[in-house]
Amino acid sequence: MNYRAVIVSDLHLGTKDSKAKEFIEFLEKHPTDLLILNGDIVDGWALNRGTKWKKQHTNAISKILKVSNKTKVIWIRGNHDEFLAEFIGMHFGNIEIREDYVISNHYVFHGDVIDVFITKYKWLAKIGSVGYDFALWLNRWYNRYRVWRGLPYQSISREIKAGVKAATSYINDFEIAAIKMASKHGCQGVICGHIHQPADLMINGARYLNSGDWVENRTAILLDYQDKFTIFKL
């Protein structure tokens, strides 16, 4: 099946937990006429902290470039790939760098612009990013132990986030703020990334979609030619 659009976000290339290999396989199995990279594709924050760029990360970028030979690619700036800000509006072959985009009456943006920690307390957000990296490191070792015991994968970091009341409240506030952003731009729905929580919800009569991430969830949003959005999960 050929899709009208495929929307992905939060690949975080440059980090150990980026599922670059699975992302490449996903692109190969889901041909599309439009690929929207909705922010945080490359993790500039992690690279500045000294994480290592691996071959699989290069392979993912190479795959995106290969896709762009025949497919239009919209790359929307995220907070972790904020280095793209100076290239907003520019085209590199078939790749266009954008701040936002509209498709099928849905406003597409990464989501960091409605995150108070990013807009007002960036230093605090970067500390939080280090904490999240530690949770993912703990997650890796815990699941190696589970594999040794013959047990299925279990995400510690995801369960911590789901169980913290403040995090739940933050996500709810984020969703409502995203819907308001869509309304400001004359759209009836919104598509975000940023918070790594895949979702398809109706909020106050408007549709909220979140593409999740390729760190823990391995999710994306697919749009077919009947104008139907669906959440893909590997």
- Which pLDDT score, from 0 to 100, does residue 49 have? 85
Is pLDDT larger for residue 157 or for residue 28?
Answer: 28
Write the Ramachandran bin of 96: left for phi over 0, alpha for psi from -120 to 50, otherwise beta. beta
34 burial type by CB count under 10 A (0-12 exposed, 13-18 middle, 19+ buried)? middle
Of 107, 106, 109, 113, the closest CA to residue 76 belongs to 109
Q: What is the mean pLDDT of residues 26-39?
A: 98
What's the pLDDT band for 200 if we cut at 50, 70, 90?
Answer: very high
Which range (4-8, 48-52, 116-120) has the least confidence?
A: 116-120
On the question of pLDDT at 169 being above 80, the answer is no
At 84, list the tokens.
Answer: 């793209």
| The two three-digit tokens of residue 85, written as one number | 């800000």
pLDDT of residue 173: 85
Q: Residue 99 in contact with residue 185, Cβ under 8 Å?
A: no
Residue labelled with tokens 């691996």 = 54
Query: pTM for the whole thing?
Result: 0.81
CA dihedral 183, 208, 22, 56 (to 10 degrees): 30
Asked whether the predicted pLDDT for residue 166 surpasses 60, the reply is: no
Share of the chain above pLDDT 90, in %: 67
What pLDDT does residue 33 have?
97
pLDDT, tens digit (0-9, with 9 covering 90-100), for 90-142: 999 999 999 999 999 999 999 988 865 434 444 344 444 555 665 666 667 66
